[in-house]
């Protein structure tokens, strides 16, 4: 508990200091830091939210059909199939991202081959585009959507769906009226577990994107580690944290479910 | 997706094989294709670990098959030091976090006490908040409290910090599913609370503790964001790979990546095995 609270309190303290890198920082209730930290950062905040939203949607849309099939038709291979989906994530997150950079490089194994075959124009590129960043985010956060969705779907009793059929629901209706509502806790957890971390992420934007697709995390990282403007960086970080807490609680209020699948997703 | 068919039994009643196509071919084909796509960068990593390139930076061209890079694995002293640091930090942080997290998990799983809801909430926050917030708050703390310079100690402390909540959540799940009457039985048989704990409680929650330890180990080994914030000039494996990726990674990175992947999979299987069949995943 102290591991989390003390650092956060000290970060708030840091954000209220004033001074310069050379002269040192002194505590002074400098609320003005927040204004100067936020000015001009709107672009990055909006971009972060956009990318994170696309990540949440993308991971869910991509993972859902697969975990649906595994949960309902996997039989005794269920666990093995799920493990196969998760297998790539035993490689370090950094290596996965760097490998995508390698694969998608302008003259890398993938684009290079297509260009040599004249299937793509020479100047075509994937890296350093917003697409590459969202692609990387979706790839890296997929398990955080797949796991809670699987947990939720796996708990649904197939007899419920049979019952819907017996009551003359067609397939679409049975899916919309039975499967989807029962999968709601999973969808809820999946959006939170992908959206929140993706908002603060900066690695994909750095490795696969570049300055043109920087997110708010890149700015915080740069202010903290390269420029050592601690108060500004701390202020931005606090705004990010509060923003996430507020968004999360609004979301939880409107969709509110028990957090069982959420913790299942987090520990798995 | 909306047209997905459900439970097999009903299929008969509708004429035509239209419905079966979804569950028999389309969805499984999609699932296997997804698996293939997801594993692509990992296969590339393994493959290019055998790339017989002239220099020592990875190239998109595959020159031929060699075991050279496995033989010369420890030649790059910087990289080797980074891997060693990563593994050391992961083991030590996971061990300490397991002790602390187990105590926390036990407390949360069974005792009602003041501040319990708050504690649960803080643990939830520590897991749910973006990593960069944890990283920057830890850096703020280390900068404010200048007791140790940024480096091994701060990395270790930060890793313990983010590992603890995960161990606590894992252990709590196990404690919550435990049959309390077993402890009562031990007490009825005149076991002291301490004996009851070591002979009854601990063996029952042991799989949860082991799973928590393995989870913490894997998370530590993998961590980049928090480590980058608190590391100063020190490099762990992910940090070193990140630095190298700007100029091109040496093939030894592919080899280390492959070996650590193997280790991770073995640990995961061990963990799944120790958790038993009760919990999927």
- CB-nearest partner of A244 from B129, B138, B169: B129
**Which of A91, A188, A259 is best to mutate for the B interface (most B CBs within 10 A)?**
A91
Q: How far apart are CA A88 and CA B226, in angstroms?
A: 22
| Mean pLDDT calculated for residue range B43-70 | 89
Q: What is the distance in angstroms between the Cα of B105 and the nearest Cα belonging to chain A?
A: 12
* CA B221 and chain centroid, separation: 8
Place A21 in a pLDDT band, splitting at 50, 70 and 90.
Answer: low
CB-CB under 8 Å, B137 with A8:
yes
- Rounded to whole angstroms, what are the CA distances from A116 to A108, A112, A113, A129? 11, 6, 5, 22
- Judge whether residue B42 has pLDDT over 70: yes
Q: Which residues on chain A are in Cβ contact (under 8 Å) with B125?
A: 4, 245
Q: A109, A123, A100: which is closest to A206 by C-alpha?
A: A100
Q: How far apart are CA A70 and CA B33, in angstroms?
A: 14
Residue A247 in contact with partner chain B when CB distance is under 8 A: no
Name the strand (E) or helix (H) holding A25.
Answer: strand A24-27
- Judge whether residue B7 has pLDDT over 70: no
- Judge whether residue B257 has pLDDT over 90: yes
Q: How far apart are CA A263 and CA A79, in angstroms?
A: 19
Place B122 in a pLDDT band, splitting at 50, 70 and 90.
Answer: confident
Residue A241 in contact with partner chain B when CB distance is under 8 A: yes
- C-alpha neighbours within 13 Å on the C-beta side of residue B188: 6
**What is the model's pLDDT at position B19?**
62
CB-CB under 8 Å, A172 with B3:
yes
Assign domain B77-275 to a CATH class.
mainly alpha
What are B198-244's pLDDT values in tens digits?
A: 888 888 888 889 888 988 998 899 899 999 999 988 999 999 999 99
Find residue A25's DSSP bridge partners: A19
Its ipTM equals 0.86
- Judge whether residue B177 has pLDDT over 80: no
- CB-nearest partner of A99 from B41, B128, B129: B41
**What is the model's pLDDT at position A257?**
52
Q: How far apart are CA B142 and CA B61, in angstroms?
A: 45
Q: Please, what is the Cα angle at A172 between A167 and A174, to 5 degrees?
A: 35
Question: Which carries the bigger pLDDT value, residue B281 or residue B49?
Answer: B49
- C-alpha neighbours within 13 Å on the C-beta side of residue B120: 16
The boundaries of the domain holding residue A252 are: 35-267
- Judge whether residue B15 has pLDDT over 60: no
**What is the model's pLDDT at position B274?**
67
Grouping H, G, I as helix, E, B as strand and the rest as coil, residue A20 is strand
- CB-nearest partner of A90 from B23, B265, B281: B265
- Count of domains forming chain A: 1
- CB-nearest partner of A158 from B7, B42, B145: B7
- Judge whether residue B94 has pLDDT over 90: yes
- Judge whether residue A260 has pLDDT over 90: no
Q: How far apart are CA A54 and CA A48, in angstroms?
A: 10
Query: Is A21 part of any domain?
Result: no
What rounded mean pLDDT belongs to chain A?
Answer: 85
**What is the model's pLDDT at position B130?**
87
What are A78-90's pLDDT values in tens digits?
A: 888 999 999 999 8
| Mean pLDDT calculated for residue range B106-125 | 79
Place A30 in a pLDDT band, splitting at 50, 70 and 90.
Answer: low
Place A141 in a pLDDT band, splitting at 50, 70 and 90.
Answer: very high
**Which of B14, B19, B38, B265 is best to mutate for the A interface (most A CBs within 10 A)?**
B38
- Judge whether residue A175 has pLDDT over 60: yes
Q: Please, what is the Cα angle at B69 between A100 and A88, to 5 degrees?
A: 35
**What is the model's pLDDT at position A209?**
92
Q: How far apart are CA B226 and CA B98, in angstroms?
A: 19
- CB-nearest partner of B241 from A10, A64, A95: A95
Q: How far apart are CA B100 and CA B162, in angstroms?
A: 12
What are A152-171's pLDDT values in tens digits?
A: 998 888 888 888 888 887 87
Q: How far apart are CA A191 and CA B175, in angstroms?
A: 28
Phi, psi values for residue A191, rounded to 5°: -65, -45
Question: Which carries the bigger pLDDT value, residue A133 or residue A107?
Answer: A133
Q: How far apart are CA A132 and CA A134, in angstroms?
A: 6
Q: Which residues on chain A are in Cβ contact (under 8 Å) with B30?
A: 65-66, 69
Q: Which residues on chain A are in Cβ contact (under 8 Å) with B144?
A: 10, 13-14
What rounded mean pLDDT belongs to chain B?
Answer: 84
CB-CB under 8 Å, B229 with A233:
no
Residue A263 in contact with partner chain B when CB distance is under 8 A: yes
CB-CB under 8 Å, B131 with A197:
yes
Among A116-130, A248-262, B106-120, B154-168, name the one with the lowest average pLDDT: A248-262
Cβ–Cβ < 8 Å for B172, B109: yes
Query: Is A19 part of any domain?
Result: no
**What is the model's pLDDT at position B279?**
45
Q: Which residues on chain B are in Cβ contact (under 8 Å) with A224?
A: 136, 139, 229
| Mean pLDDT calculated for residue range B72-100 | 94
CB-CB under 8 Å, A13 with B144:
yes
Q: Where are the alpha helices (DSSP H) in chain A?
A: 2-15, 32-38, 42-73, 78-86, 93-104, 111-116, 130-154, 158-166, 171-174, 180-200, 203-204, 216-221, 230-255, 260-267
Q: B260, B226, B254, B225: which is closest to B241 by C-alpha?
A: B254
Residues 6+ positions from B177 with CB-CB distance below 8 Å: B278
- CB-nearest partner of B38 from A82, A88, A158: A88
A86 torsion bin: left (phi>0), alpha (psi -120 to 50), beta (else): alpha
Within the 135-194 window of chain A, which residues sit less than 8 Å (CB to CB) from chain B?
A: 139, 142, 147, 150-151, 154, 158-159, 161-162, 165, 171-172, 174-176, 179, 192-193
Residues 6+ positions from A122 with CB-CB distance below 8 Å: A115
Lookup: tokens for A229: 């403007």
Lookup: tokens for B264: 């991770």
* Residue range(s) of every CATH 1.10.3720.10 domain in chain B: 77-275
Question: Which carries the bigger pLDDT value, residue A225 or residue B11?
Answer: A225
Q: How far apart are CA A172 and CA B14, in angstroms?
A: 14
CATH number at residue A148: 1.10.3720.10
Q: What is the distance in angstroms between the Cα of A43 and the nearest Cα belonging to chain B?
A: 19
- Judge whether residue B263 has pLDDT over 90: no
- Judge whether residue B6 has pLDDT over 50: no
* CA A268 and chain centroid, separation: 16
CB-CB under 8 Å, B58 with A79:
no
Name the strand (E) or helix (H) holding A106.
Answer: none
CB-CB under 8 Å, B132 with A201:
yes
- Judge whether residue B188 has pLDDT over 60: yes
């Amino acid at each position: 508990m102290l591991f989390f609270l003390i650092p956060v309190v000290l970060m708030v303290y840091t954000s209220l200091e004033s001074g310069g890198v050379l002269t040192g920082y002194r505590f002074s209730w400098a609320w003005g830091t927040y204004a100067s930290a936020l000015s001009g950062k709107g672009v990055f905040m909006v971009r972060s939210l956009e990318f994170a939203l696309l990540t949440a949607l993308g991971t869910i849309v991509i993972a859902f059909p697969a975990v649906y099939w595994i949960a309902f038709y996997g039989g005794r291979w269920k666990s093995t199939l799920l493990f196969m989906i998760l297998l790539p994530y035993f490689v370090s997150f950094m290596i996965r991202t760097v490998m995508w950079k390698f694969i998608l490089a302008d003259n890398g194994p993938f684009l290079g081959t297509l260009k040599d075959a004249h299937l793509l124009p020479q100047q075509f590129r994937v890296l350093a585009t917003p697409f590459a960043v969202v692609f990387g985010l979706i790839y890296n956060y997929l398990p955080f959507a797949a796991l809670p969705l699987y947990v939720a779907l796996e708990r649904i009793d197939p007899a419920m769906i049979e019952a819907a059929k017996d009551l003359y629901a067609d397939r679409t209706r049975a899916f919309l009226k039975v499967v989807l509502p029962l999968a709601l806790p999973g969808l809820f957890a999946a959006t939170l577990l992908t959206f929140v971390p993706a908002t603060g992420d900066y690695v994909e934007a750095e490795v696969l994107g570049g300055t043109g697709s920087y997110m708010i995390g890149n700015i915080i990282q740069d202010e903290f580690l390269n420029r050592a403007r601690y108060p500004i960086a701390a202020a931005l970080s606090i705004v990010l944290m509060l923003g996430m807490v507020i968004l999360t609680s609004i979301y939880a209020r409107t969709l509110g479910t028990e957090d069982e699948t959420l913790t299942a997703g987090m520990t798995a | 997706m909306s047209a997905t068919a459900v439970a097999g039994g009903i299929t008969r009643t509708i004429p035509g094989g239209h419905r079966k196509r979804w569950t028999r071919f389309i969805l499984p084909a999609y699932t296997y294709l997804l698996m293939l796509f997801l594993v692509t960068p990992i296969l590339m990593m393994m493959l290019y670990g055998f790339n017989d390139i002239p220099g020592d930076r990875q190239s998109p061209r595959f020159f031929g098959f060699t075991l050279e890079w496995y033989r010369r694995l420890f030649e790059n002293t910087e990289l080797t030091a980074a891997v060693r640091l990563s593994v050391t930090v992961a083991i030590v942080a996971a061990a300490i976090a397991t002790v602390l997290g187990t105590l926390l998990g036990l407390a949360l799983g069974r005792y009602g006490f003041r501040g319990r809801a708050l504690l649960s909430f803080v643990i939830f926050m520590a897991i749910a908040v973006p990593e960069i917030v944890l990283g920057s708050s830890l850096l703020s703390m280390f900068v404010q409290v200048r007791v140790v310079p940024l480096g091994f100690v701060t990395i270790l402390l930060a890793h313990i910090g983010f590992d603890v909540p995960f161990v606590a959540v894992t252990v709590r799940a196990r404690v919550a599913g435990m049959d309390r009457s077993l402890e009562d039985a031990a007490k009825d048989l005149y076991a002291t609370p301490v004996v009851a704990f070591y002979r009854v409680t601990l063996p029952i929650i042991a799989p949860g503790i082991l799973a928590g330890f393995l989870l913490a180990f894997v998370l530590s080994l993998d961590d980049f964001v928090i480590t980058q914030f608190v590391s100063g000039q020190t490099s762990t494996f992910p940090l070193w790979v990140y630095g190298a990726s700007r100029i091109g990674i040496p093939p030894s990175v592919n080899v280390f990546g492959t070996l650590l992947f193997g280790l991770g999979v073995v640990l995961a299987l061990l963990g799944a095995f120790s958790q038993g069949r009760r919990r999927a995943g």
